[in-house]
Amino acid sequence: MWRLTAALATLVLIAGCGGSDEKSTPAATGPETTSTGTLPSIEGKGKKAEKAKPKPAGERIATGTSYFFETPSGKIACGVFRDPTSLRCDTKYETSFSRSGHTCTEGDYGHAFEVAQSGAGKAICAGDTVASATESHTIPYGKTWLLGPFSCTARTSGLTCRNGEGHGFDLSVQRQRLF
């Protein structure tokens, strides 16, 4: 009797192995998942693996050709511009840069800060101000806004803005830092 049971078990095992000579194609239902997570895709195999840059979290803001905003205190005002793509923030207070003795051929130095789509943030000479924009929005404290290729985070301690490369500036009454 045990031989009959063993023979039936072997037959069931062989039948379950799919002894067909036809090639099967897996269903195109997306990435295969297991109890340990999603298996990596084999697309692009043979190419050098790219390290994925973390994307900043925050609220995406449609900027159009220009977009103006300020901190709740009103001490920092900013504008995002396209063509060329840049982000500029102006302070309504003296900064360590405005006290540095740097002179401009036009305008003042040290109240305006700029970061382009690539490259480091910098203090610039300016004879105008983005603080006078008529359609300005307020970025709430504790929020991050994604503005084109830039992200800005407002805190009660100041404003931090950066481009996709991670360059930009920290602005507060106590300290201004370019990176």
| pLDDT per position as a tens digit, 107-155 | 999 999 999 999 999 999 999 999 999 999 999 999 999 999 999 999 9
The number of domains in the chain is 1
Q: Quick check: is 28 in a domain? A: no
Q: Quick check: is 12 in a domain? A: no
| pLDDT per position as a tens digit, 52-80 | 556 668 999 999 999 999 999 999 999 99
- pTM of the full structure: 0.68
- Three-state secondary structure call for residue 84: coil
Q: Which domain holds residue 127?
A: 59-178
Q: Quick check: is 20 in a domain? A: no
Q: Quick check: is 162 in a domain? A: yes
Q: Quick check: is 34 in a domain? A: no
Is-contact 159 93, C-beta < 8 A?
no
